A and B are shown apart, each in its own frame.
Chain A
Amino acid sequence: MPFEQLLIEGLAMGACYGLFGLAVIIIYKTSEVVNFAAGTMAMFSVYIAFHFITFYGFPFWVAFIASLIFAGLLGVFVEFFFLRPAKNPTLLGLIVITIGVQLLLAGLAGWKWGADQQAFSIPFSYQVTYKLLPGFVVSQWAVAVFIIAFIVVTILALFFKFTKIGTAMRATQQNKYAAKIMGIKTDRITAFSWAFSSVIGVTAAMLITARTILDPEFMMEPFLRAFAAAVLGGLMSIPGVLIGGGIVGLIENFFGYLSPAWKPITAFVIIVLVLCIRPSGLFAKHYVKKV
Chain B
Amino acid sequence: MDVKKLLTVLLIPLIALFFLVDQGYAKRNPGFDDKEIRVGQWGPQTGPAAPWGAVARGSKLLFDLVNEEGGIHGRQVRYFIRDDQYNPSQTMAGVRELVDRYGVFAFVGGVGTACGLAVQNYLRQNEIIWIGVCSGARAFENNPWLWQMWPAYFDEGAILTKHAVENMGFTKIAYLYQNDDWGADAMEGVKAVLKANNLELLAAVPVEPIERDLSSQIARIQATGAEAVVGIMAPTQAAIALRTAVSVGFRPQWLHSYNLCDFALMSHITDGLWASEGVMTAAFTPPIDSDTPLMNKYREAAARLAPEERWGIFYLAGVCVGEPLVWALEDVGRDLSKQAVVDALNSITERQGVGPIITWTKESHHPPRQLQVWQCGPNGETIVVQDWIENDLERP
Binding site for B on A (CB under 8 A): 1-2, 5-6, 9-10, 13, 110, 114-119, 121, 126-127, 129, 131, 137, 139, 141-142, 208, 211-213, 215-218, 220-222, 225, 252-257, 260-261, 263-264
Tell whether B35 is near chain A: CB-to-CB under 8 Å: no
User: A221 contacts which chain B residues (CB < 8 A)?
Assistant: 210-213
At the interface with chain A, which of B116-124, B243-251, B384-392? B243-251
Residue of A127, A218, A256 near B246 (CB, 8 A) is: A127
| A–B pairs, 18, beta carbons within 8 Å | A1-B223, A2-B222, A6-B215, A6-B216, A9-B216, A13-B215, A110-B47, A115-B47, A117-B269, A137-B249, A212-B239, A213-B212, A213-B240, A221-B213, A252-B216, A260-B207, A261-B179, A263-B217
Q: Give me 20 other A-B pairs in contact (C-beta within 8 A), A116-B51, A139-B247, A264-B211 excluded.
A: A6-B215, A9-B244, A10-B216, A115-B46, A116-B50, A119-B270, A126-B246, A127-B271, A137-B247, A211-B240, A212-B240, A212-B243, A215-B48, A221-B210, A222-B212, A252-B213, A257-B219, A261-B206, A263-B208, A263-B211
B239, A211: Cβ atoms under 8 Å? no
Min CB gap A62→B, angstroms: 20
Q: Which of A2, A115, A142, A211 has the most CB of B within 10 A?
A: A115
Alpha-carbon distance A211/B247, docked complex (angstroms): 9
Residue of A117, A137, A263 near B248 (CB, 8 A) is: A137
User: B247 contacts which chain A residues (CB < 8 A)?
Assistant: 126-127, 129, 137, 139, 141-142, 211
B51, A117: Cβ atoms under 8 Å? yes
User: A2 contacts which chain B residues (CB < 8 A)?
Assistant: 219, 222-223
Residue of B47, B220, B249 near A257 (CB, 8 A) is: B220
User: B271 contacts which chain A residues (CB < 8 A)?
Assistant: 119, 121, 127
Residue of A9, A119, A256 near B269 (CB, 8 A) is: A119
User: A117 contacts which chain B residues (CB < 8 A)?
Assistant: 51, 235-236, 239, 265, 269
User: A218 contacts which chain B residues (CB < 8 A)?
Assistant: 212
User: B51 contacts which chain A residues (CB < 8 A)?
Assistant: 115-117
In order of increasing CB-CB distance, the 8 nearest A-B pairs are A256-B216, A115-B50, A9-B215, A126-B247, A139-B247, A257-B216, A137-B249, A117-B269
Min CB gap A136→B, angstroms: 10
B219, A9: Cβ atoms under 8 Å? yes
Alpha-carbon distance A130/B44, docked complex (angstroms): 42
Smallest CB gap from B237: residue in A: A213
Residue of B46, B208, B215, B248 near A110 (CB, 8 A) is: B46
User: A10 contacts which chain B residues (CB < 8 A)?
Assistant: 215-216
User: B216 contacts which chain A residues (CB < 8 A)?
Assistant: 6, 9-10, 252-257, 260, 263
Interface string of B178-217 (1 = CB under 8 A from A): 0100000000000000000000000001111011110111
A212, B212: Cβ atoms under 8 Å? yes
Min CB gap B274→A, angstroms: 11
User: A142 contacts which chain B residues (CB < 8 A)?
Assistant: 247
Min CB gap B192→A, angstroms: 22
B236, A215: Cβ atoms under 8 Å? yes
Alpha-carbon distance A263/B265, docked complex (angstroms): 28
Alpha-carbon distance A253/B220, docked complex (angstroms): 10
Interface string of B262-302 (1 = CB under 8 A from A): 00010011110100000000000000000000000000000
Smallest CB gap from A265: residue in B: B208
Alpha-carbon distance A177/B197, docked complex (angstroms): 75
Smallest CB gap from B223: residue in A: A2
Min CB gap B139→A, angstroms: 21
User: A115 contacts which chain B residues (CB < 8 A)?
Assistant: 44, 46-51
Residue of B48, B240, B269 near A217 (CB, 8 A) is: B48
Smallest CB gap from B217: residue in A: A260
B244, A211: Cβ atoms under 8 Å? yes
User: B44 contacts which chain A residues (CB < 8 A)?
Assistant: 115
Smallest CB gap from B45: residue in A: A115
User: B240 contacts which chain A residues (CB < 8 A)?
Assistant: 211-213
Smallest CB gap from A16: residue in B: B213
Min CB gap B73→A, angstroms: 39
A253-B269 in contact given A114-B50, A129-B247, A141-B247 (Cβ < 8 Å): no
Alpha-carbon distance A205/B266, docked complex (angstroms): 22
8 Å CB contacts to A: which residues of B1-53?
Answer: 44, 46-51
Residue of B49, B215, B248 near A129 (CB, 8 A) is: B248
User: A225 contacts which chain B residues (CB < 8 A)?
Assistant: 213
Residue of B211, B219, B236, B273 near A253 (CB, 8 A) is: B219
A213-B211 in contact given A9-B219, A110-B47, A115-B47 (Cβ < 8 Å): no
Q: Which of A9, A116, A208 has the most CB of B within 10 A?
A: A9
Min CB gap A226→B, angstroms: 12
Smallest CB gap from A264: residue in B: B208
User: B47 contacts which chain A residues (CB < 8 A)?
Assistant: 110, 115
Min CB gap B293→A, angstroms: 31
User: B235 contacts which chain A residues (CB < 8 A)?
Assistant: 117
Min CB gap A53→B, angstroms: 13
Min CB gap B171→A, angstroms: 21
Alpha-carbon distance A9/B179, docked complex (angstroms): 23
Smallest CB gap from A256: residue in B: B216
Residue of B49, B207, B213, B249 near A212 (CB, 8 A) is: B213
Residue of B48, B220, B265 near A260 (CB, 8 A) is: B220
User: B236 contacts which chain A residues (CB < 8 A)?
Assistant: 117, 212-213, 215
B222, A5: Cβ atoms under 8 Å? yes
A260, B269: Cβ atoms under 8 Å? no
User: A129 contacts which chain B residues (CB < 8 A)?
Assistant: 247-249
Residue of B49, B212, B269 near A118 (CB, 8 A) is: B269
User: B179 contacts which chain A residues (CB < 8 A)?
Assistant: 261
Alpha-carbon distance A145/B354, docked complex (angstroms): 47
User: A9 contacts which chain B residues (CB < 8 A)?
Assistant: 215-216, 219, 244, 248
Interface string of B68-103 (1 = CB under 8 A from A): 000000000000000000000000000000000000
User: A6 contacts which chain B residues (CB < 8 A)?
Assistant: 215-216, 219
B210, A264: Cβ atoms under 8 Å? yes
User: B206 contacts which chain A residues (CB < 8 A)?
Assistant: 260-261
Min CB gap B184→A, angstroms: 12
Min CB gap B180→A, angstroms: 12
